[in-house]
Amino acid sequence: MRDFANSTYQSRKVARNKIKIQRKPLDLKKYLRPLLKIATGLIALSLAVGLIYFAHRVLDSATIFKLKNIEVSSAKRVTREEILGLAGVEPGKDLLRMDLKRMGEHILQNPWVESVRINRYLPDGISINITEREPLAIVNMGFIYYLDKNAKVFKVLNQGDKLDYPIVTGFSEEGLNSDPKGTGKALRATCELLKILREKGAFILADVSEIHYDEGYGFTMFTASGAIPVKVGAEEFASKIERFAHIYHDLMLQRATLQYIDLDYNDKIIVKKS
């Protein structure tokens, strides 16, 4: 065995291979050029947006067609000032920018207004025409409301409102909310009966102090003289009222002895006396 410890051989270190790499200089223009394009585009876009905004502000502030002439139709219960206040109309506004539909919706918030029509007339005018509701009766539904000819319960009575209308009872706000279709049908029947009573005849609306509605039966009228119940039912009002008109005055001569009158038959009238 060879003794390497006492050998004269000396290990040599092998030098590592070194390859010299030449670095190319960094081309900054290559990287900056896209950034410059993006920055230029953003600046151009900002300028364009700024110009558009400025132009919009200028056009927005410029009023070519200023409102000068305002025509409002005459009305019994709604004043010109109330109509203009609801519509938000005043001289000097831009006529082209006025939202006529929205103005009409605001005017309709007044319970007396049934319909409204607004027209624009260049260069400086508008007209507002309203149709008011006409009360046909007063409906007691907990609160007291006006009823118009279209069977619309439209306004709670306030102090100063006229009370010289027929009184209708038997309806309720609860029924109107829970069964609007059925209640609406009954209210239309009420208007039909009131219309018949308003026509000239021996028995007219002035002879009625109250009309009561019962969901199961129909209508019962109470005479202005003596508050005598007159049962009418739910249909064929015209023929029943016509028959009753022929004997009404004679019956009123006996009103002290009358308990009720029943018209709810096709060919006869039942008179109940005490």
Same domain, 90 and 168: no
How many Å apart are CA 255 and CA 257, to the nearest integer? 5
43 & 77 share domain: no
Has residue 161 been placed in a domain? yes
Can you give the pLDDT at residue 43? 82
Q: Does 23 reside within a domain?
A: no
Mean model confidence pLDDT for the chain: 86
The per-residue pLDDT for 60 is 54
CATH value at residue 204: 3.40.50.11690
190-207 pLDDT tens trace? 999 999 998 866 677 888
- Alpha helices, DSSP H, located in the chain: 28-61, 80-87, 100-107, 173-178, 180-198, 237-252
Q: Could you tell me if 236 and 174 lie in one domain?
A: yes
> Considering 109, 132, 155, which residue would you say is the last residue of a domain?
132
Q: Which of 19, 136, 94 is nearest to 145 (CA)?
A: 136
Q: Is residue 40 over pLDDT 60?
A: yes
With CA atoms as reference, report the closest residue to 162 among 149, 144, 187. Answer: 144
Pair (167, 186) in one structural domain: yes
Residue with tokens 């151009």: 44
> Does 55 share its domain with 75?
no
Q: Is the pTM of this model over 0.75?
A: no
Classify each residue of 115-136 as buried b or exposed e, where b means 16 or more C-beta atoms within 10 Å of its C-beta: ebebeeeeeeebebebeebebb
| Residue, of 233 and 28, whose pLDDT is higher | 233
* Amino acid letter, residue 219: F
Q: Dihedrals φ, ψ of 241, to 5°?
A: -65, -35
- Please check whether residues 265 and 140 belong to one and the same domain: yes
How confident is the model over 96-121, as a mean pLDDT?
A: 96
Q: Are residues 94 and 142 in the same domain?
A: no
Cis peptide before 135 (omega within 30 of 0): no
Q: What is the pLDDT of residues 241-258, one digit of tens each?
A: 999 988 988 998 998 999
Task: Identify which of 74, 68, 107 has the alpha carbon closest to the alpha carbon of residue 88.
Answer: 107
Confidence of residue 222 (pLDDT cuts 50, 70, 90): very high
Identify the weakest region by mean pLDDT among 55-69, 138-152, 202-216.
55-69
- Closest among 253, 200, 186 to 223, alpha carbons compared: 253
Nearest partner of 221 among 236, 202, 237, judged by Cα: 237
Domain shared by 146 and 168, yes or no:
yes
Structural domain of 109: 69-132
Arithmetic mean of pLDDT, 151-179: 93
Question: How many domains are there within the chain?
Answer: 3
Can you tell me the mean pLDDT for 130-136?
95
